[in-house]
Amino acid sequence: MIDRYGRNIDYLRISVTDLCNLRCIYCMPEGGVAKMRHEDILTVEEIEEITRAAAALGIEKIRLTGGEPLVRKGIVEIVRRTAAVPGIREVALTTNGSLLAGYAQDLKAAGLSRVNISIDTMDAEKYREVTRGGELADVLSGIRAATDAGLRPIKLNAVLIGGINEDFIRPLVEMTRDADFRVRFIEIMPIGECADWNRERFVSISRVLEDVPGLAYAGTDGVSKLYRLEGAKGSVGLISPISSHFCPACNKVRVTSDGKLKPCLHSPEEIPLRGLHGAALEDAMRRGILDKPLKHKLDSERKSDSRRGMSAIGG
């Protein structure tokens, strides 16, 4: 569907849970988030119904996210039902990868097209520090399982955190040499847990090119600028929501795990969808898409206007 500013909105991200098995320092409080009541979380049926309404409005691509989508009971069924909705051409998933080894085959069989796996460093000790206890080996098993299951191409997402993981840019880039991984570096955004962090933590994406001068420009892929090491099978994407925000090209809206449509990640507007069915549900979603703000006001000096952090919205 075309919004008020002429953008074609064809992509919906659905958060299937706000819970997570990790506690990344920039995303989750150390003690985790207060658990929502079970009855406040979208059911599998509601997720399917929202997907049907979205497809009727021209959404073609669904991304399931969280929190950590693989801690959601019934995630394979959610994939099966959303992938079967007529008009939906692709269902993808964003995961921290730590539980993926046990799910990759079933997800693929249920109709999942591909996965984005978040991995902010290739150093096991640093990984434990950033995720507050996660095991890098589990994520690497998850990446292998996803490759074996044919969930390709695999995108590996790393947020750049000044003073924390910049040393690990090069090892992540090296992942692209022998396999078709799409490693993507993303500027960290001042939202939720890290909204009030010291500005030095917010490193510009240009840091990647300074550290790895051998990267040659290779075009664009959606919101990322692509680069490649000479002879490498994979690519490196740079995504800069802060230093050059890409709102004019934004094609997505989001639904939170408690059923609110969020037309813009960094704006406070939320449209309740629960309890709506059929034409009423479609109307509410149509209004949200039509009124999607032209751009957010976030920059390196100003934090997000969102009322929720990333784990509650679904990054």
Instruction: Report, in Å, the least distance between residue 87 CB and ligand SF4.
Output: 28
Rule CB under 6 A: which residues touch ligand SAM? Answer: 20, 26-27, 65-66, 68, 94-96, 118, 157, 159, 186, 188-189, 191, 194, 310-311, 314-315
Residue 141, contacted partner among ligand SAM, ligand SF4, none, CB below 5-8 A by kind: none
Instruction: Report, in Å, the least distance between residue 314 CB and ligand SAM.
Output: 6
Closest by alpha carbon to 202, among 182, 224, 186? Answer: 186
Alpha-carbon distance values, 229 to 24, 175, 219, 300, 306 (Å) = 29, 11, 13, 29, 37
Which residues touch 129 (CB under 8 Å, ≥6 apart)? 25, 164
CB 170 within 8 A of CB 185: no
The 3-class SS string of 63-115 reads EEECCCHHHCCCHHHHHHHHHCCCCCCEEEEEECCCCHHHCHHHHHHHCCCEE
Spatial separation of the C-alpha atoms in residues 271 and 232, rounded to whole Å: 44
Instruction: Report, in Å, the least distance between residue 52 CB and ligand SF4.
Output: 27
Binding residues for ligand SF4 restricted to 240-279, rule: CB under 6 A = none
Binding residues for ligand SF4 restricted to 61-120, rule: CB under 6 A = 66-68, 96, 118
Instruction: Report, in Å, the least distance between residue 64 CB and ligand SF4.
Output: 13
CA atoms within 13 A on the CB side of 207: 24
Question: Amino acid letter at 16?
Answer: V
Residue 23, contacted partner among ligand SF4, ligand SAM, none, CB below 5-8 A by kind: ligand SF4
Q: Tokens 């320092």 — which residue? A: 25
Binding-residue total with ligand SF4 (CB under 6 A)? 12
- For position 192 contacting ligand SF4 by CB under 6 A, the verdict is no
Q: Which is nearer to ligand SF4, 250 or 313 (CB)?
A: 313
Residue 186, contacted partner among ligand SF4, ligand SAM, none, CB below 5-8 A by kind: ligand SAM
CB 88 within 8 A of CB 56: no
Q: Which is nearer to ligand SAM, 33 or 281 (CB)?
A: 33
- For position 311 contacting ligand SF4 by CB under 6 A, the verdict is yes
Degrees to nearest 5, angle at CA 238 with 235 and 242: 170
Spatial separation of the C-alpha atoms in residues 296 and 304, rounded to whole Å: 8
User: Going residue by residue from 22 to 61, which x/- string records binding to ligand SF4, judged by CB under 6 A?
Assistant: xxx--xx---------------------------------
Residue 28, contacted partner among ligand SF4, ligand SAM, none, CB below 5-8 A by kind: ligand SF4
Binding site for ligand SF4 (CB under 6 A): 20, 22-24, 27-28, 66-68, 96, 118, 311
